[in-house]
Amino acid sequence: MKVVIYSNSSLGGCYEYAKQIAAEYGRNAEVEWCKALFPKGSAKDCAETEDILLKDRMFRGIWKLFGKIYFLYRSLINPIRAYKYATKNKTDLLIFNDFDQVTSSLWTRRFRNRNFKTAIILHDPDRTAYFHRKSLSESTMQRIMDVMDIAFYHEKLPPLPYYSNIDNRIIFRHIPHGIYPPATPDKEITKIFQNLKNQGITTLSITGNIRAEKNYKIAIDAVAQLPNTVLIIAGRSVTVNENVDTYRQYAQDKGVSERVIFIEKYLNNNELSAVFANSDIILLYYSTAFKSQSGILNSLSPYKPKLIVSDTESGMAQSVKKYGIARLAAPDSVAALVEAIKTYPAENPYTENWQKFADYSSWKNNIAIQISTYNQSVTKNGNA
């Protein structure tokens, strides 16, 4: 079995996920070879790599207009490169770990005639708000699903029209996310937390790429009501529409700028480990608009931290309820978040439950399900 994984980003959770499943595919006895396609110059630490895709971090700062044009260009070219690579190497399965929705009406035409199976991993399955126009979001996502044989998802698949699968052609399958191995905590970021703890200060943290759905403003409002508490926002903007300065100004307007610390950078694994290992409470208090899956829980699992998670219909919240690993709080509410923080016990009551979550989740199990689903698709619909 020959497998190609398409991953068009060089940073973030999807990027790390692609490296893990590529490595696990490479270890599987049923797989002849596996290659993950990444942007040029990335994933040098992954043996199963071909960096043939266009770079994803170009034209930042004053070149935002060029950045938008380039984004459209690479969103069209990269899937076509993946198609050519999969065809040339007589691939059995091409997995879309990322997908280019903005240009899908164009690049999917190439995939209508293919000699391999296609699968998609729906890390963020609710694509309805991708564009401002709901109809455009739905139609572009439908174009992607039209050329898929298999769809994998984590925890929960929302009942959306582009997943209706009227002709019963697509096989939908739930897969565990896998557990990320912990890295050695970064010393400099560890010092930031230690200095705060030495002062008796409670630390709250929000990590990852900056996006409004992570409810930074609500967290800042909560800090304004919680004395002796500091919020650490660790991450950077990855789109031209998000600006960290917006939240800096908001903290200043609320009079808590000295109690909101920004670590404005992409955190490598060691730096992220330092945040996870040293935060008093980690906030996964996402808005109801963000239908998050449970991937971040797998990164957090080795640390067994205190978490506060929005009680929504997201896959993440469902995992929290199933395994009992975090405190749930009513979504999009300053009062609910403040109450959850104030009443969190000093000793984490969910520590033991993390092991149940880890026992279920593994990359080996993830790939075993993917391969069995591919075999089922071949039996059902033929090789392509």
Average pLDDT over residues 63-92: 91
Confidence band (pLDDT; 50, 70, 90) for 291?
Answer: low
Confidence band (pLDDT; 50, 70, 90) for 383?
Answer: confident
- Tell me whether strands 117-122 and 93-96 are parallel, antiparallel or unpaired: parallel
pLDDT (tens digit per residue) in 164-179: 987 889 999 999 988 9
Confidence band (pLDDT; 50, 70, 90) for 381?
Answer: confident
Q: Which residues, including other chains, have CB under 8 Å from residue 283's CB and lie 6 or more apart?
A: 204, 205, 206, 215, 219, 307, 308, 337
Q: What's residue 50's pLDDT?
A: 87
Q: Which domains does the chain have, with CATH numbers?
A: 2-178+362-378 (3.40.50.2000), 187-360 (3.40.50.2000)
- The region of weakest confidence among 182-191, 233-242, 331-340, 370-379 is 233-242
Pick the most confident of 14-18, 126-130, 187-191, 210-214. Answer: 187-191
Q: What's residue 177's pLDDT?
A: 86
Phi, psi of 4 (to 5 degrees): -120, 135
Helices 13-27 and 363-381 cross at an angle (nearest 10°) of 70
Q: Residue 69 above 80 pLDDT? A: yes
For 383, which DSSP code?
A: -
pTM: 0.71
